[in-house]
A and B are shown apart, each in its own frame.
Chain A
Amino acid sequence: MPNESLEQLATRDYEFGFTTDIEMDIVEPGLSEDVIRFISAKKGEPAWMVEWRLEAFARWQKMVEPHHWAKLSYPPIDYQAIRYYAAPKKKIQLDSLDELDPELRRTYEKLGISLDEQKRLAGVAVDAVFDSVSVATTFKKELEKHGIIFCPFSEAVHKCPELVRQYLGSVVPVNDNFFAALNSAVFTDGSFVYIPPGVRCPMELSTYFRINASETGQFERTLIIADRGATVSYLEGCTAPQRDENQLHAAVVELIALDDATIKYSTVQNWYPGDAEGKGGIYNFVTKRGKCAGKRSKISWTQVETGSAITWKYPSCILLGDDSVGEFYSVALTSKRQQADTGTKMIHIGKRTRSTIVSKGISAAHGQNSYRGLVRIQKGADGARNYSQCDSLLIGSECGAHTFPYLEVANPTAKVEHEATTSKIGEDQLFYCRQRGLSEEDAVNMIVNGFCKRVLKQLPMEFAVEAQKLLGVSLEGAVG
């Protein structure tokens, strides 16, 4: 029967599954103090940074992988089989984009990121992280005029060591969790942003992450500081080549917003999801946390997660400053054999702190999608408010959606609202659309986009379009 389609699940080729042939500077797989010293030496890091890493390593060795609570199942990861450093050999220090390795440049073009193009048209400043190093940061000069620092993390360690020392690990301590500790020990690069007091960053800042070398883990570190009254919008995009083995991505992102500062952090995550049988794909274990340290500060997370074999990710807000605001807008799509356990934590400490959670989970094929969210209202958080909405959309009958809301309220004046729905794209809906002339695929995309609208609206325009396309691509073959 051509129409008994919802149950039929096929795969579609991963559009970004190419590798780039570039001479690489690579360490042998395995993790030890020596490897950490090697990474640190490669980056020419100061002594305090090495110490910091080694301490994280010591702590990590005593920790166990958090395998028990998340609704994810995967074989044990062999941390000694992973390479912790891989970098393109040539020309890492670039004065202009023209010096970028042509192969690397083609990679970005394939990804749809023409750096030149971005530079000319979009007014988006881009930092591209390729395996372990940042290779190009555009618009540096323009940003410098405003006193904004936007550079590879490894550069920031030299350029503004005081800021790095003051804030690194201040939101996600080295021993916060297993993956954060691992990242602290071995992180190779990432982006650093500092927006000085009162400055509204004149353009979107953007980083593209790509894992390329095989058996390589990617451990990037992002630190964004918005000083008093500063405003910044930051975008992060991720892709990886198609490989049969699983690759580990364990990033840490820390955001700090001082008085009246606003940080908007948007992610479109499209790591390779593995094939329809569950072979290959990225294990994405990421710790993202923002601290609204100042009064009336605001941190807003928006994520569209379409890739990865496994996603373990809880972008969170610590609402310390009075009247501070935290937001989490999320679309997580699992198709094929993908598993996602994602959500947020909103920790209300300051008075009249407010948080909004909007989570949209889409499960298709054999995808498993869990929302896990904590809202904690601490004792002193008078008048705190939270609104949570968690919706799940199922496509087909082999997939699953789960919701795990945790609520801890220690202040009687707090107001907390939680709404949850689960719906299914029904045969009747699809037939209705088809009877009006729409293809099944267009019908599914239309319904999915409608379902995600509230989240997609949060993304900057170009990103929203890209995200919509990605959702479509990820669902192709899941019906029809």
Chain B
Amino acid sequence: MTTPMLEIRDLHATAGETLILKGIDLVIQPGEVHAVMGPNGSGKSTLANVLAGKPGYEIVSGSVLFEGRDLSLLAPEQRAREGIFLAFQYPVEIPGVSNMYFLKQAVNAVRAHRGIEELDAMEFLQLAREKMKLVEMSDALMSRSVNEGFSGGEKKRNEILQMALLDPKLAVLDETDSGLDIDALRVIANGVNALRGPTRAMLVITHYQRLLDHIVPDFVHVLSGGRIVKSGAKELALELEEKGYGWIQAESAAG
């Protein structure tokens, strides 16, 4: 048996002082795409933040193993360099720092960690150009400050571009589809699909079936009240679209 990419066991975690995740179990193998759905406030972003190691989010019990290693021992930047990528629900603006420069620094930090030679400005530009095509990113956005004044859709594109450049093993996409128009949704989904592969796993957080029409998941999980209350194949998402979350919540309360 191969080691799972990600193995979450009975995870309890707090955000601030509050217990939000109340016993999550989830195993993701390399090459798999898992969708996580669930009502607002159910803990989806909290799960993403716990995986990425955001300060203020603490594991109180249970375990999270990434390729068999205890994630809680790694600082956020170490997790990133090891191959965990989080596409943020709300990407942060960094005034004064050009997007191109930021991406180059990030790529080189990750490369240095992986023992690959760092890229100089020209080499990086070449790589960036290639990946920019993937998400139809314009040159203009590269010379502007990171996310500053970017439209919602541009920010999301930038997240996927970063994912493409950083070449992660596990990508967590937190509502990357929210706020996208139909064309942008297709562009981003195509970008994500291009990055699917046997060695990469993805955890796709979304509210909408329309994203899953493009990025077809292997598994769908429903998070509610800090627990995975139902898991299934891709058809589960369609059922949710149709019936909402009420029936599952009722079912799990009864069960």
Binding site for B on A (CB under 8 A): 1-5, 423, 426-429, 431-440, 442, 446-447, 449-451, 453
8 A-B pairs with least C-beta separation: A450-B96, A3-B55, A436-B106, A450-B97, A437-B109, A434-B76, A437-B80, A432-B92
B197: chain A residues at CB < 8 Å are: none
CA distance in complex: A439, B109 (Å): 8
CA distance in complex: A3, B75 (Å): 8
Q: Is the CB of B88 within 8 A of A432?
A: yes
Q: Which residue of B lies closest to A452 (CB)?
A: B96
Q: Is the CB of B97 within 8 A of A435?
A: no
List 15 additional A-B contacts (Cβ < 8 Å) besides A427-B55, A437-B77. Answer: A3-B53, A423-B95, A429-B92, A431-B52, A432-B91, A432-B92, A432-B94, A435-B76, A435-B79, A435-B86, A437-B113, A447-B96, A447-B97, A450-B145, A451-B96
CA distance in complex: A439, B105 (Å): 10
Q: Is the CB of A446 within 8 A of B77?
A: no
CA distance in complex: A468, B86 (Å): 30
User: Are A437 and B81 also in contact (CB < 8 A) when A1-B55, A431-B54, A442-B105 are?
Assistant: yes
CA distance in complex: A433, B147 (Å): 12
Q: Is the CB of A437 within 8 A of B92?
A: no
Q: Which residue of A lies closest to B84 (CB)?
A: A435
Q: Is the CB of B97 within 8 A of A438?
A: no
B37 touches A (CB below 8 Å): no
A1: chain B residues at CB < 8 Å are: 55, 58
Q: Is the CB of A434 within 8 A of B96?
A: no
Shortest B145–chain A CB gap in Å is 7
- Chain B interface main SS type: mixed
B110 touches A (CB below 8 Å): yes
CA distance in complex: A451, B146 (Å): 13
Q: Which residue of A lies closest to B77 (CB)?
A: A434
Q: Which residue of B lies closest to A448 (CB)?
A: B96
CA distance in complex: A5, B162 (Å): 26
Q: Is the CB of A437 within 8 A of B91?
A: no
Q: Is the CB of A446 within 8 A of B97?
A: yes
Q: Is the CB of B94 within 8 A of A437?
A: no
User: Are A435 and B80 also in contact (CB < 8 A) when A427-B55, A442-B105, A450-B145 are?
Assistant: yes
Q: Is the CB of B55 within 8 A of A439?
A: no
Q: Which residue of A lies closest to B147 (CB)?
A: A432
CA distance in complex: A432, B146 (Å): 11
Between A and B, 6 residue pairs with Cβ closer than 8 Å are A423-B95, A429-B92, A436-B110, A447-B96, A447-B97, A450-B94
Shortest A468–chain B CB gap in Å is 13
B208 touches A (CB below 8 Å): no
A428: chain B residues at CB < 8 Å are: 92
CA distance in complex: A170, B156 (Å): 60
Shortest A3–chain B CB gap in Å is 3
Shortest B13–chain A CB gap in Å is 14
A442: chain B residues at CB < 8 Å are: 105, 109
Shortest A420–chain B CB gap in Å is 15
Q: Is the CB of A447 within 8 A of B94?
A: yes
CA distance in complex: A45, B53 (Å): 68
Mask for B99-123, Cβ within 8 A of A = 1, else 0?
Answer: 0011001100110010000000000
Q: Is the CB of A450 within 8 A of B95?
A: yes
CA distance in complex: A426, B90 (Å): 14
Q: Is the CB of A437 within 8 A of B88?
A: no
CA distance in complex: A231, B162 (Å): 46
B228 touches A (CB below 8 Å): no
B166 touches A (CB below 8 Å): yes
Q: Is the CB of A436 within 8 A of B97?
A: no
Mask for B132-151, Cβ within 8 A of A = 1, else 0?
Answer: 00000000000001000000
A453: chain B residues at CB < 8 Å are: 96
CA distance in complex: A438, B166 (Å): 12
A5: chain B residues at CB < 8 Å are: 55
A449: chain B residues at CB < 8 Å are: 96-97
CA distance in complex: A427, B81 (Å): 20
B79: chain A residues at CB < 8 Å are: 435
CA distance in complex: A37, B246 (Å): 94
Mask for B61-91, Cβ within 8 A of A = 1, else 0?
Answer: 0000000000000011101110001101001
A436: chain B residues at CB < 8 Å are: 80, 102, 106, 109-110, 162, 166
Q: Is the CB of A434 within 8 A of B75?
A: yes
Q: Is the CB of A431 within 8 A of B166?
A: no
Mask for B26-56, Cβ within 8 A of A = 1, else 0?
Answer: 0000000000000000000000000011111
User: Are A438 and B109 also in contact (CB < 8 A) when A423-B95, A431-B76, A446-B97 are?
Assistant: yes
Q: Which residue of A lies closest to B112 (CB)?
A: A437
Q: Is the CB of A440 within 8 A of B97?
A: no
CA distance in complex: A427, B92 (Å): 10
